[in-house]
Structure 1
Amino acid sequence: MNGPASTAARRPILSTRAALLCVIVVLVLTNLADNRWAPSWIVLTALVATTVLIALAWLAGCDADDIGLGRTDLPRQLRWAGVLVLIVACCYLAAALVPAGQGLFVDRRTGGLGSRELLWRVCVAVPIGTVLLEEVAFRGVLYGLVDRDFGTRAAIGFSSLLFGLWHILPSLHLNDAKPVLGSVFGHSPWGAVLSTAAAVLFTAAAGVVLCVLRRLSGGLLAPMALHWSTNAFGYLVAHLVA
């Protein structure tokens, strides 16, 4: 149905700035829940937070295409996703076959996982608890809200900066968990600060790459595919070289 009535029905209830503030509050609470309050509930937390974030975007006047979840250019998105998964798989396999490359995957947090826990993480926790939430939040809702009112460069910069900050809590003591980082930064408190800062900078840069992928491919499928394959294959290789 077209006309004034339908236009009024989709008039934003929240301003962009108000929606952004609400999104940031939701993300802060979600980050604390995942890393401090209820880490074992990460999948449920992700589903609830993702639903709330999409609702906030809708209240601010965004549609599915604005947040990268529309069906526009779906075949192109699928092609991008398939190619990216294949590239990551080949790169990880090549690294795993070289003794020097195996050390990059050693992680004390995941090396002792059993097969059932590994399957849970690769097939459920990573795609839902990590990829769905983070891509919808950072490359979807945040990107879409900022892009609409402030432009693409602002959207990429803002969402990627917050994506980096999102990783502060999970990156604490990363120098102790990953021997390769411990050898670079040491195991002192100062080393922990430096390794956390490096993780924030790295993930912010990764956020830029994922935003560009969203723009080039036309939606969230490509960044989701890259994000999932990077994390999931990392778990698999870490399990194999442990």
Structure 2
Amino acid sequence: MLLLAAATVLANRVLPGWAYPVCGVVTAAVLIAVARFSGLRLASIGLGRRTLGRAALIGLVGTGLVGLVFAVALAVPELRTFFEDGRVGTPGIGQLLWLALLRIPLGTVLVEEVAFRGVLPALLGAGERWRWAPVLGAAALFGLWHLLPSLALVRNAAVGATMGGLPLPLISVLAMVAAAGAGIFLYWWRHWGKGVLAPALLHCATNSGGLLVAWWVLSHP
């Protein structure tokens, strides 16, 4: 946990933007090394080769479902508000591709899936069967991981409209609880897909896809 705490502070408060994906890759590599040093097999942390095909297939199914949800949201004017996120800004095409194809997949998705759907549940005692204690433990830590990002949530138009009157600490707590819930779902997706590639593809589609949709909405009011 000290490694993850240091990583989130470095990534969100210290390092320049270009170093964000580098920090993610290094953190993920160290986590895998810690797991291996602790005696865990690659399969137990969701990186086994035998189930790679199944994980990819389930991940692609999730990607398709996310795309469908985004398409429906774009088609319904009332739902477009959810994508009016001030954190996106107005990046150029080059910057947008950097964010969607490198910064988010390597700096966010890679480290979060390796940590919270792979290494930490295994270290907490998760096995081939579903075990609630490791799942809930990893999900709770995933919620805490989102403490710093949650402080900027009020810049999202939908969040500001629905929770703008609430104190920022309460909004932050609610966001972390929501992240913990998402962590449970993503671990279930990993459990179904038999590997972290399954939730990683779903996660990447949600974050990078959400960024692209938000950019489109803000650029075409």
Q: What's the TM-score once normalised by structure 2's chain length? A: 0.93
Distance of 2:72 and 2:152 partners within structure 1? 28
Judge conservation of contact 2:143–2:176 (CA < 8 Å) in 1.
Answer: yes
| Pairing 1:128–2:128 present | no
Residue 185 of structure 1 and its aligned partner are, at CA, apart by 1.6
CA, structure 1 residues 181+146, in 2 after alignment: closer, same or farther (shift >3 Å)? same
Match of 2:62 in 1: 84
- Structure 2 residue matching 1:66: 3-state secondary structure: helix
1:182-224, CA deviations, whole angstroms, 9 ceiling, x for partnerless residues? 112225xx53122211210111000000111111111111100
Higher relative contact order (CA 8 A, sep 6+): 2
Residue 156, structure 1, aligned to residue 132, structure 2:
no
How far 1:111 moved relative to its partner?
3.4
Q: Distance in 2 between matches of 1:39 and 1:241?
A: 27
Structure 1 residue 237 corresponds to structure 2 residue 213: yes
Residues 72, 218 of structure 1: 8 Å contact kept: no
2:65 alignment partner AA: I
Q: Which residue of 2 aligns with 1:203?
A: 179
How many equivalent residue pairs?
A: 215
Distance (Å, rounded) in 1 between the aligned partners of 2:14 and 2:169: 22
Deviations 1:112-162, CA, capped at 9 Å, x for gaps: 12211110111101111011110001101001111258x721110010000
Q: Is 2:25 the partner of 1:61?
A: no
CA distance in 1, matches of 2:25, 2:79: 35
CA distance in structure 2 between the partners assigned to 1:172 and 1:235 by the alignment: 18
Paired position in structure 2 for 1:219: 195
1:102 aligns with 2:74: no
User: Alignment identity in percent?
Assistant: 37
**Root mean square deviation, CA, Å:** 1.4
Q: Distance in 2 between matches of 1:51 and 1:129?
A: 12
What amino acid sits opposite 1:172 in the alignment?
L
In structure 2, how many angstroms separate the alpha carbons of the residues matched to 1:173 and 1:111?
A: 13
Give ranges in structure 2 of 5+ residues lacking alignment: none
CA-CA distance at 1:39 after TM superposition? 4.6
Question: Partner residue of 1:191?
Answer: 167
Counterpart in the other structure of 2:145: 166
Q: CA deviation at 1:60?
A: 0.6
Q: CA deviation at 1:168?
A: 0.6
Secondary structure, counterpart of 1:147 in structure 2: coil
| CA spacing shift, 1:171–1:39, aligned 2, 3 Å | farther
Amino acid at match of 1:160: A
1:157-179 CA-to-partner distances (Å, cap 9, x unmatched) read: 0100000000010110311x112
